[in-house]
Amino acid sequence: MAGGARGSAPGGARGGAPGGARDGTRGGSPDGLEALEREVIGCRRCPRLVAWREEVARTRRAAFASEEYWGRPVPGFGDPAARVVVLGLAPAAHGGNRTGRVFTGDRSGDWLVAALYRAGLANQPTSRSRDDGLRLRDCRVVAAVRCAPPANRPTPAERDACLPYAVRELELLGQPRVVVCLGAFAWDAALRILAALGCATPRPRRRFGHGAELATERLTLLGCFHPSQQNTFTGKLTEPMLDAVLARATELAAAAPGASDQPSG
């Protein structure tokens, strides 16, 4: 078994995140989310991904050779009553799989969390480690597949094995209003999650695109290019582009029915 940090579940649910369930007006189930986190962290359902995540944690990248990798599934992180959900593909081998928190310890995390901070959804612009003090406000970040996959490519079977965790997480959040889908894989996964939640979506399926918007009876999907180095280095995704999507997400969340309570903290 690879990885370190046994017994300390990552995630923002512990102790209550700013502006979330504390006011009791938006629902959300911190206890349910903590139970889900424990279940996710112990999951070994996908043999290929279990082997890969543990192999990466054992061999390590040279720059992190002195660190103990997490090497396990990475649960969702953030406000337990979030109205804005950011859905990624899967933890990065040397990012989330190393640090134990999604979008933490790599360039994609730097980009995403800096944008969340600019949008007022995070208390700081950096995401370095599980104990760096990062708190998300009215926002939760989750991965569609919770173990790091080889070449960032989970198989359809692995995706289907893991998606029930995301379905349950959205249910436990109470009133999520917007899902920002980082890339086509996340967009497709969100459509599958909506179907599992019994939410009708249009046929034929709406295709992913940056800025794509799909309103359903339950929540709205927003498409956004993934903040991967490939996209940010080439200028395919710029900071203003990411900021615009997150601004639209917060606008939609605030305008949703029953959204009169404003995030605090």
Residues that bind ligand SF4 (CB under 6 A): 40, 43-46, 49-50, 73, 145-147, 158, 161-162
Please name the residues in contact with 198: beta carbons below 8 A apart, sequence gap of 6 or more.
Answer: none
Beta carbon of residue 148, minimum distance to ligand SF4 (angstroms, whole number): 9
Of 43 and 244, CB closest to ligand SF4? 43
Beta carbon of residue 53, minimum distance to ligand SF4 (angstroms, whole number): 8
Q: Which two tokens stand for residue 26?
A: 């938006």
Of 43 and 256, CB closest to ligand SF4? 43
Of 49 and 85, CB closest to ligand SF4? 49
Of 154 and 263, CB closest to ligand SF4? 154
Of 92 and 162, CB closest to ligand SF4? 162
Of 105 and 154, CB closest to ligand SF4? 154
What gap in Å lies between CA 97 and CA 3, rounded to an integer?
Answer: 9
Beta carbon of residue 90, minimum distance to ligand SF4 (angstroms, whole number): 7
Cβ–Cβ < 8 Å for 143, 104: no
Burial, 123: exposed, middle or buried (Cβ in 10 Å; 0-12, 13-18, 19+)? middle
Beta carbon of residue 104, minimum distance to ligand SF4 (angstroms, whole number): 17
Give buried/exposed letters for 177-211 (b at 16+ CB in 10 A, else e). bbbbbbbebbbbbbbbbbeeeeeebeeeeeebebe
* DSSP-assigned letters across all residues of 108-149: HHHHHHHHHHHTTSBSSS---STTS---BSSEEEEESS-SPP
Q: Which two tokens stand for residue 12?
A: 């923002």
Cβ–Cβ < 8 Å for 172, 28: yes
